[in-house]
């Protein structure tokens, strides 16, 4: 009897062969999962954000790994039906328990895939306005213009109105200016137009729109609509109305304050008291 005989006998054992084949199945599955993960990431990153491509590629990786594991265990004769049923029940329980988190998770995937909002954009979500700091799978972080960091679950994004101010290359601003009825409206128009035309950040095309929009109680209301590069909206908002006001002042055009003429039916006699100024 050779010393190799027990080894050969062990190797020719059908159970051992099954284990070897199961390991090979799992190994192939593992290799395929790695390849699929890389391919999915490379393709995904061309069309979607990097983090979403990474998540999808990881999901594909674990799904293939799970299939490989169940196939390998099945080859060894381990019955997985009970495990799958138990896993299914556990999944339902965990899913119900983690429903808010899952809602945020899928909302995050949707927001990232659709690129509704992206890092660096200026948005208003509900009543919160600010710059997007981060969009992760579960939360979106906004930095408001007074420096507060607001973190909101992504599920909230799908149930509220999102205004994105960074999608257009230019935005239209609107101002209203009121001039007294006694003033020359055409002169006021010329003064406003000159101020608007001289402002470097007011776009020449589309051309500014200046028109009388209302004959108000106290004065003639002139509406000024201008287009401004998206990134310069705030500086122009601060600057332009102030410049219009100064130009009107310099041109001697008065901006009226609310006034009310009172007509008295019965004649009134005014008497000056002695000693009064």
Partner 1 sequence: MYGLVVKDSLEIGEVFIKVERFESYLKYRRSMRGDVKEVLLDRNAVVETRPIYSLFYPSYVTGYILVSFSKQVVISPKSSLRIMLQLPVDLAIYAYSADFYQLIDLIPLHSSYKYALYGPVISSVEATGYIARLVKEEPVADNVAEPLEKHCLARVLIVNKTQDFASVSKILLDAKPLKIFYIPETWKCYTQDIKMILNSGEHASILYEEKPCKECVELEEPEEFKGLLRTLSTEMLWGY
A 10 A CB-CB count for 69 gives: 16
Q: Binding mask 48-67 vs partner 1 (x if CB under 8 A, - otherwise)?
A: --------------------
Backbone φ, ψ for residue 134 (5° rounding): -160, 140
Q: How far is the CB of 168 from partner 1 (least distance, A)?
A: 5
Q: Where are the alpha helices (DSSP H) in 115-232?
A: 154-158, 185-198
Q: Residue 179 burial (CB < 10 Å; 0-12/13-18/19+)? A: buried
Strand order in the sheet with 170-180: 170-180, 219-229, 209-215
Q: Binding mask 95-114 vs partner 1 (x if CB under 8 A, - otherwise)?
A: --------------------
Dig out the tokens for 141 from the structure: 């972080």
Among 4, 96, 169, 270, binds partner 1 (CB under 8 A): 169
> Angle CA(32)–CA(88)–CA(51) in degrees, nearest 5?
50
Quote the distance between the C-alpha of residue 225 and its chain's center: 26
Residues 222-241 that bind partner 1 (CB under 8 A): 227, 229, 231-232
Dig out the tokens for 203 from the structure: 């776009």
Q: How far is the CB of 229 from partner 1 (least distance, A)?
A: 5
Among 102, 162, 170, 241, binds partner 1 (CB under 8 A): 170
Residues 3-42 that bind partner 1 (CB under 8 A): none
A 10 A CB-CB count for 210 gives: 19
> Interface with partner 1 includes 161 (CB under 8 A)?
no
Q: Which is nearer to partner 1, 113 or 170 (CB)?
A: 170
Among 91, 126, 206, 252, binds partner 1 (CB under 8 A): 206
Q: Which residues bind partner 1 (CB under 8 A)?
A: 168-172, 200-206, 227, 229, 231-232
């Amino acid at each position: 009897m050779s010393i190799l005989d027990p080894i050969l006998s062990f190797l020719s054992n059908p159970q051992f062969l099954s284990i070897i084949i199961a390991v090979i199945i799992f190994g192939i599955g593992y290799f395929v999962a790695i390849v699929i993960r890389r391919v999915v990431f490379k393709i995904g990153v061309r069309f979607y954000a990097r983090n979403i491509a990474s998540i999808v590629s990881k999901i594909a990786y674990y799904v293939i790994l799970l299939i490989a594991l169940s196939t390998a265990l099945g080859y060894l004769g381990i019955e997985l039906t009970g495990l799958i049923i138990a896993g299914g029940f556990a999944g339902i329980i965990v899913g119900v328990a983690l429903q808010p988190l899952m809602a945020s998770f899928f909302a995050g995937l949707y927001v990232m895939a659709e690129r509704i909002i992206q890092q660096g954009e200026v948005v208003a979500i509900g009543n919160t306005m600010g710059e997007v700091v981060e969009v992760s799978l579960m939360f979106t972080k906004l930095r408001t213009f007074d420096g507060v960091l607001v973190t909101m679950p992504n599920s909230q994004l799908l149930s509220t109105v999102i205004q994105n101010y960074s999608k257009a290359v230019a935005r239209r601003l609107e101002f209203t200016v009121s001039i007294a009825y006694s003033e020359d409206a055409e002169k006021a128009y010329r003064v406003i137009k000159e101020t608007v035309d001289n402002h470097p950040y007011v776009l020449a095309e589309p051309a500014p729109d200046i028109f009388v929009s209302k004959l108000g109680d106290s004065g003639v209301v002139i509406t000024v609509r201008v287009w401004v590069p998206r990134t310069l909206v705030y500086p122009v908002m601060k600057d332009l109305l102030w410049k219009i006001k100064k130009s009107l002042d310099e041109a001697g055009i008065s901006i009226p304050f609310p006034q009310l003429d009172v007509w008295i039916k019965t004649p009134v006699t005014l008497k000056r008291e002695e000693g009064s100024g």
